[in-house]
């Protein structure tokens, strides 16, 4: 259902508000550059500091531009189950193809709590749901056993795995088979994740190198591995630069160098340091993204 390079979209701001024209232009550019899918209102989209109205509007703007050309997987997670259900219902109403639902942060539920949280959402909204497992931000880690139980629900179709554990996709493949869509949440492990049974990557780097990220995925799926490895090596320094400071500040600055948006982020994220900006620009030039 979902595969390839799926961009975890930034949310452009101008004068403190969502820059709607810049966002829609950015979405269209992503599709033209070959991205296989789009994720509005994820972590990279600064969902923690979007108001509910802004969150819903950004999803709607993305769906409006995509027009079914590529899947839209709307960020809809929360550490409140009721809030996650409400955002997932809106994703369906807006016309999104799926919802990306992060594990509940701060509350620290146990595995039973995670199971019940996702089942409550899946039972409330008839839309494909992708679990977002990112222990580095949420503290908790969903076990493969819990995930396999959730995969039995017809609405829970996949995972964005940001654990950096390359043994996990193979374990999940053995437990649930290929019907469960496994997407890497870490650009640096994209090829390793594919080799272990994954089918794609929800990518931060694709914000600024959508064509190259799509090319890597396409090359792998076509079996042209030498080309995939070549692109991997070109992208490696860029992946690192995207996390020289907290995401999405580096990605937004990089996108601003391409003239796609302002580099503005919302507090508590801070503007990038001069040294970080230089490193990002250097990596973009090395990847052939800037003259």
Q: From CA 123, how far away is CA 237, in angstroms rounded?
A: 42
- The number of residues in the chain equals 291
Question: Does residue 37 sit in helix, strand or coil?
Answer: strand
Residue 92 is among the residues annotated as catalytic for this protein? no
Active-site pick, 118, 132, 252, 260: 132
Task: Quote the crossing angle between the two packed helices 249-257 and 274-286, to the nearest 10°.
Answer: 60
The helix or strand, by DSSP H or E, that contains position 191, with its residue range, turns out to be helix 190-195
Cα distances (angstroms) measured from residue 270 to each of 44, 114, 175, 238, 247: 14, 32, 42, 21, 11
Residue 132 is among the residues annotated as catalytic for this protein? yes
Active-site pick, 56, 118, 149, 160: 160
Residue tagged 């995930």 (tokens): 147
Q: Are strands 4-8 and 200-203 parallel, antiparallel or unpaired?
A: parallel
Cα distances (angstroms) measured from residue 255 to each of 32, 176, 199, 207, 231: 16, 38, 26, 7, 20
Task: Read off the DSSP letter of residue 263.
Answer: -
What residues act catalytically?
A: 132, 160
């Amino acid at each position: 259902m979902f595969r390839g390079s799926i961009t975890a979209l930034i949310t452009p701001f101008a004068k403190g508000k969502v820059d709607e024209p810049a966002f829609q232009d950015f979405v269209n550019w992503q599709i033209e550059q070959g991205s296989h899918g789009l994720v509005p209102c994820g972590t990279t989209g600064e969902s923690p500091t979007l108001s509910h109205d802004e969150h819903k509007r950004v999803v709607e703007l993305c769906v409006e531009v995509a027009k079914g050309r590529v899947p839209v997987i709307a960020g809809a997670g929360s550490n409140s189950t009721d809030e996650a259900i409400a955002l997932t219902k809106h994703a369906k109403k807006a016309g999104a193809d799926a919802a990306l639902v992060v594990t509940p942060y701060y509350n620290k539920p146990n595995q039973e709590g995670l199971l019940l949280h996702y089942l409550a959402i899946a039972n409330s909204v008839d839309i494909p749901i992708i679990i977002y497992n990112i222990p580095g931000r949420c503290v908790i880690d969903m076990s493969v056993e819990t995930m396999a139980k959730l995969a039995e629900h017809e609405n829970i179709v996949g995972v964005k795995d940001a654990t950096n554990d390359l043994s996990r996709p193979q374990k999940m493949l053995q437990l649930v088979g290929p019907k469960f869509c496994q997407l890497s949440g870490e650009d640096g492990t994209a090829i390793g994740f594919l080799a272990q049974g994954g089918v794609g990557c929800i990518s931060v780097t694709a914000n600024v190198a959508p064509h190259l990220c799509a090319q890597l995925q396409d090359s792998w799926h076509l079996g042209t591995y030498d080309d995939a490895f070549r692109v991997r090596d070109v992208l490696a320094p860029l992946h690192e630069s995207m996390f020289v400071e907290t995401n999405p500040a580096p990605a937004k600055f990089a996108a601003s160098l391409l003239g796609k948006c302002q580099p503005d982020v919302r507090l508590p994220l801070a503007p990038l340091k001069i040294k970080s900006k230089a490193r990002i620009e250097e990596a973009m030039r090395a990847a052939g993204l800037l003259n």
